[in-house]
Amino acid sequence: MKIALVTRRYPPLIGGAEKVLSYLAEAFADAGAEVSVLTSRLDPTLPALERPRPRLEIVRLPTSPVRILGTWIHMTAIQRWLARHPVDLAYVSMMKHDAYATLGAGAKRGFPVVLRPEGAGATGDVAWQKWGRFGSRIAARCRTATAYTAISSAVRDELEADGYPSERIVDIPNGVPMPETAWVPPEQPRRAVYVGRLAREKGLDVLIESWRRVVERAPDARLRLVGDGPIRGELEALTEEVGLDESVEFAGAKPDASSDLAAGDLFVLPSREEGMSIALLEAMALGIPVAATSIPGNRRLIEPGEHGRLAAVDDPIDLADTILASWSDPAGSARMGRAARERVRAEFSIERVARVHLEFFERLIR
């Protein structure tokens, strides 16, 4: 099976979507598919992290830093590549400009195109089609896709509510690799870790506010924020304003945050919106105790009291109480971490998720 995996962003660019696509690409290739990842050419200042892997090629297509021009150049490059290289199926991340270009090529060349919305809510794909440049035109073409994968019920609900045919939507969750070694409690307790973009939808302003309450009751508590994003400066200013400089660390973006997770004893995810968080899945796969907000994407993964603890959204008091509750019951927290790890192994390992994808793709191709 020859698959074109189309995504504008790919590692070393860091984000949940980028990570899961790289995991899928490698797992597809390991399962025997021939995979070509069509993505944008890297900024020359970024390191190239591609490692040779059988049956997997990373194709860096031209673009431009000029926003509209860069999009047009990249879309044209996608269509030209697909015209010159026969594929059995194309799998496209996000229902935006890349999807438009790939669907046009699929219609001409006769191969199925599957679209993969990466999120729901105000920052999701369906919402973007309402306000994005050429969004309505892109949405009209997206409705011609062969099929769609929904990583969560929230994504499926939005697609159906916007008129996407339910019979063409298949539910396939995100997946992550299983670490060989499970989490063990670190020597220094009360070390919380967040991994992800520093963006408004992640609820980090609420986390900072809750952290002030945490350190009032646990002065030795420390919070490490691993990631970067548009509101980093704002969060740093807020941290300084409320006097938390000594207990909150901004570690920046990293291609691999496993060592940060291993050094902590609690993963915190205060998001307002999530499709299905890769950072949360990776924390669960490791087995570190988890405190997250009670939003649909997180509730899909965590049964409260069984796999972790959930706090109310936009509620710094409840979030602080949830963080402190995890530390006040280390044995119970560790038990939930172990259960979360086993749940990921059974339902969300990248090998299982890739196999479900490939079986679905084979049916479409036939």
Q: What is the mean pLDDT of residues 335-355?
A: 98
DSSP annotation of 5 reads: E
Q: Which of 276, 352, 361 is nearest to 30 (CA)?
A: 352
Indicate the average pLDDT of the chain. 95
Cβ atoms within 10 Å of 343's Cβ, excluding its own: 18
Helical segments of the chain, H only: 16-30, 67-84, 97-109, 125-131, 135-142, 153-161, 204-217, 232-241, 258-262, 278-286, 296-299, 316-328, 330-343, 350-365
Dump pLDDT digits (tens) for 104-113: 999 999 999 9
Tokens 């924020």 sit at which residue? 225
**What is the pTM for the complete model shown?**
0.91
Say if strands 222-226 and 191-195 run parallel, antiparallel, or are unpaired: parallel
Longest dimension (CA), the chain: 64
First-to-last alpha carbon distance for the chain, in angstroms, is 11
How large is the average pLDDT for residues 255-268? 94
Token pair 């679905």 is found at 360
Average pLDDT rounded to a whole number, residues 154-169: 96
Distance CA 59, CA 175 (A): 23
Q: Please give the helix or strand (H or E) that residue 57 lies within, else none.
A: strand 56-61
- For the stretch 59-101, pLDDT in tens is 999 999 888 999 999 999 999 999 999 999 999 999 999 999 9
Site of tokens 């990466």: 118
Instruction: Report the pLDDT averaged over residues 326-344.
Output: 98
